[in-house]
């Protein structure tokens, strides 16, 4: 699930703009808010990537050479996330 830095920054800007438009938060410096959201998104995407890698590794041990179905991968990712107390 590789996500580029540019995509993350675009998403962070959209989130910050939406929060400000709705009056839920107000950043005195929008760039500071964007940096905070960007950092959080990067950390979250990295966590999901690690969980996906672990799930693929476990599935490879149990199903062999064939690629797992999307459903199998999602189920295994949920198991890994649950073990790590991460909510997907």
For residue 18, being part of any structural domain is answered with: yes
Burial of 32 by CB count in 10 Å (0-12 exposed, 13-18 middle, 19+ buried)? exposed
28 in a structural domain: yes
- Residue 23 belongs to domain spanning: 5-83
pTM equals 0.79
Q: Is residue 88 part of a domain?
A: no
Work out how many domains the chain is built from and give that number: 1
pLDDT tens string for the chain (88 positions)?
567 889 999 999 999 999 989 988 887 888 888 999 999 999 999 999 999 999 999 999 999 888 999 999 999 999 999 999 988 8
Structural domain includes residue 25: yes
In a domain, 47, yes or no: yes
What is the spatial distance between Cα 75 and Cα 11, in angstroms, rounded to a whole number? 27
* Residues 48, 88 contacting (CB under 8 angstroms): yes
Whether residue 63 lies inside any domain: the answer is yes
């Amino acid at each position: 699930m590789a996500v580029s830095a540019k995509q993350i920054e675009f998403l962070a800007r959209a989130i910050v703009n939406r929060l400000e438009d709705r009056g839920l938060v107000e950043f005195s410096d929008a760039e500071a808010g964007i940096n905070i959201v960007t950092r959080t998104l990067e950390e979250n995407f990295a966590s999901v990537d690690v969980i996906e890698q672990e799930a693929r590794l476990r599935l490879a041990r149990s199903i062999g050479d064939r690629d797992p179905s999307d459903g199998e991968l999602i189920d295994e990712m949920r198991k890994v996330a649950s073990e790590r107390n991460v909510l997907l």
